[in-house]
Amino acid sequence: MQIKQLSIFIENKKGTLAGLTGTLMKNSLDIRAIAVFDTNEFGIVRLVVDDPEKALDVLKKDGFIAKVSKVIAVEPEDKPGSLNEIFRILGENDINIEYIYSFVMRKREMPFIVFKVDDQEKAVSVLVDGGINVVNKEEVYGK
């Protein structure tokens, strides 16, 4: 129940994101989620796309430094405390969250929350056991 995410190392300068997204657009790749983490000179763009392997290939061919990693996406309930419940389950099971971001799929009301944790398999297991809806790749990639 893990999904694939691209991490792309880019320069923090005007037009870089347009070049990145232009490469994806020219190759008919659909961005499902995007998060950018930056410093003064460089940034890391994290993307969830509809075809991560194809995206990796075309980005590398266009000169981008990119890699694919696995992350977990969950769909929290629409109620106060739902994120706390997820964080509590992970913490009580000694799983560290390395980073987190969210995205909304079209025609859905609730966002998906993406986690990179230090023990992906265990995290999926304890979240499912805790009643959390862990999203499968078909729900994200639309295939």
CATH number of the domain that residue 46 is part of: 3.30.2130.10
The pLDDT of residue 120 is above 90: no
- How many structural domains compose the chain? 2
pLDDT value of residue 110 = 65
**Per-residue pLDDT band at 41 (split at 50, 70, 90):** confident
Report the pLDDT value the prediction gives residue 108, as an integer from 0 to 100: 62
pTM of the predicted structure, to 2 decimals? 0.80
Q: Which amino acid is at 3?
A: I
Q: Do 33 and 9 share a structural domain?
A: yes
Per-residue pLDDT band for 104 (boundaries 50, 70, 90) equals confident
Give the model's pLDDT for residue 75: 87
Of 51, 70, 89, which closes a domain?
70
> What mean pLDDT value characterizes the chain?
89
Check pLDDT > 80 for residue 13: yes
Proportion of the chain above pLDDT 70, given as a percent:
95
Distance of CA 41 to the CA centre of its chain: 23
DSSP-assigned letters across all residues of the chain: --EEEEEEEEESSTTHHHHHHHHHHHTTPPEEEEEEEE-SSEEEEEEEES-HHHHHHHHHHTT-EEEEEEEEEEE--SSTTHHHHHHHHHHHTT--EEEEEEE--TT-SSPEEEEEES-HHHHHHHHHHTT-EEPPHHHHH--
In this prediction, residues 1-21 reach a mean pLDDT of: 91
Look at residue 133 in the predicted model and tell me its pLDDT.
87
- Between strands 112-117 and 42-49, the pairing is unpaired
For residues 63 and 87, state if they share a domain. no
- C-alpha Rg value of the chain to the nearest Å: 16
pLDDT at 100 over 70: yes
Residues 19 and 11: their CA atoms lie apart, in Å, by 11
Angstrom distances, CA of residue 44 to CA of 5, 99, 107, 121: 12, 12, 28, 24
| Full domain range(s) for residue 37 | 3-70
